[in-house]
Amino acid sequence: MPRLRELLGIAAFYRAFAGVAGGDARSTYQREYLRARAGERVLDIGCGPADILEVLPRGCAYVGFDSSPEYIEAARRRYGERGRFELRRITSATLKEFEGFDLVMANGVLHHLDDDDAHELFEIARVALRPEGRLMTLDGCYAPRQSAIARYLLSRDRGRFVRAEPEYEALARAHFSSVTAHLRHDLMRIPYTHLILECRP
* Domain of residue 30, residue span: 4-200
pLDDT in tens, the chain (201 residues): 344 344 344 444 344 444 435 568 999 999 999 999 999 999 999 999 999 999 999 999 999 999 999 999 999 999 999 999 999 999 999 999 999 999 999 999 999 999 999 999 999 999 999 999 999 999 999 999 999 999 999 999 989 999 999 999 999 999 999 999 999 999 998 999 999 999 999
What was the pLDDT predicted at 22?
52
Contact status, residue 41 vs residue 102, Cβ threshold 8 Å:
yes
Count the domains in the chain. 1
Residues 6+ apart with CB under 8 A from 39: 59, 60, 61
Element (H, E) at 197: strand 194-200
CATH code, 20: 3.40.50.150
Angle (nearest 5°) at CA 15 between 81 and 159: 115
Contact status, residue 103 vs residue 36, Cβ threshold 8 Å:
yes
- What is this structure's pTM? 0.89
